[in-house]
Amino acid sequence: MDGVPTPASFAALGAPLDGVLAEYMVLDQEGLVRLPEHLSYEEGSTLACAAVTAWNALMYSGRIKPGDTVLALGTGGVSIFALQFARLNGARVIITSGSDEKLARAKALGADDGINYSKHPEWDKEVMRLTDGKGVDHVIEVGGIGTLARSFASLGFGGQVSLIGVLAGREGDSNPHALMLKSGKLQGIFVGNRVMFEAMNRAMAINKMKPVVDKVFPFDEAIAAYKYQLQKKHFGKIVISI
C-alpha cells in the first residue's frame, strides 16, 4: 500500500504473480485503483507497471525538481512515461533511441534532445556534450548491465541512476568507478505502491496527461503483440484488448 515493500507484501502482477492476459480476473480490492476519468480502459491498462515504475523513479526515489535534466534510455513504455512525467515537472529531457523517427516523435512529445545510440555507440559522450560537460541529474536505466557504465558516465555530480530494466542483455561493462567519482547514487526500482499510483493518477488527471498507446491488438492476436514488442517497433505502450 505504502512505504517500502516487505517479503510478505512483495507482489506485482506479472512478476512474480500471474499477469493479466485474461478475459476475467479476481483481484484483491485493496490492489485496485480508480481509473482517471479522462482515460479509456485501454489507456488505463498501461499505467499499473510502466507508469508507476517511472513515477516511483522520478518523483519518489529521485525527487526531481524543475530545471533538472533527466536522461531516458530508449522509447519503450517506461521511458516514454518518464519523458512525460519529467516534462510535467519542468525538467529537461534527453532521450536515446536506435531510430531517428522515434526520436522525432519523442521531441514532438516534449523531449529537448535526442541521441541515436546506433549512430552514437558512445552516447554518454553526446550526453556530456549536450549538457556542457555537467551530466544529468537522473538516468532512467532500462538497459541494465549492457548500458550501466555509460549511464554512470552520463551522470552529473550527485545524480541518480534508477536501475529498472535489463533490455540491453546480461553482458557488458558495469564498472561503477564514474559513479563513485561523481558522488552518484545507483537505486534499484521495483514498480511502486498504491499510494504512488494514486498520486500519479491525480497528477495525470489534473494535467489531462494521456499515455502514449502505439497500437492496440485484439485479444486473439496476443502473440502478434508480443512479437511486435520484441521487434522494437513500438513507441510507448502496446495494448492487448478484449
Ligand X SMILES: NC(=O)c1ccc[n+]([C@@H]2O[C@H](COP(=O)([O-])OP(=O)(O)OC[C@H]3O[C@@H](n4cnc5c(N)ncnc54)[C@H](OP(=O)(O)O)[C@@H]3O)[C@@H](O)[C@H]2O)c1
Interface ranges with ligand X (CB under 6 A): 49-50, 53, 73-79, 96-99, 102, 117, 142-143, 146-147, 164-168, 189-191, 229, 232
Nearer to ligand X, 68 or 214 (CB): 214
Q: Could you tell me the smallest distance in angstroms from the CB atom of residue 194 to ligand X?
A: 15
Q: Could you tell me the smallest distance in angstroms from the CB atom of residue 202 to ligand X?
A: 21
Farthest CA pair distance, the chain: 52
Nearer to ligand X, 195 or 206 (CB): 195
Dihedral angle of Cα 204, 196, 9, 14, to the nearest 10 degrees: 30
Q: How far apart are CA 187 and CA 163, in angstroms?
A: 6
Q: How far apart are CA 54 and CA 191, in angstroms?
A: 8
Q: Could you tell me the smallest distance in angstroms from the CB atom of residue 134 to ligand X?
A: 22
Q: How far apart are CA 130 and CA 209, in angstroms?
A: 27
Nearer to ligand X, 35 or 166 (CB): 166
Q: Could you tell me the smallest distance in angstroms from the CB atom of residue 114 to ligand X?
A: 9
Nearer to ligand X, 61 or 75 (CB): 75
Nearer to ligand X, 157 or 190 (CB): 190
Q: Could you tell me the smallest distance in angstroms from the CB atom of residue 56 to ligand X?
A: 8
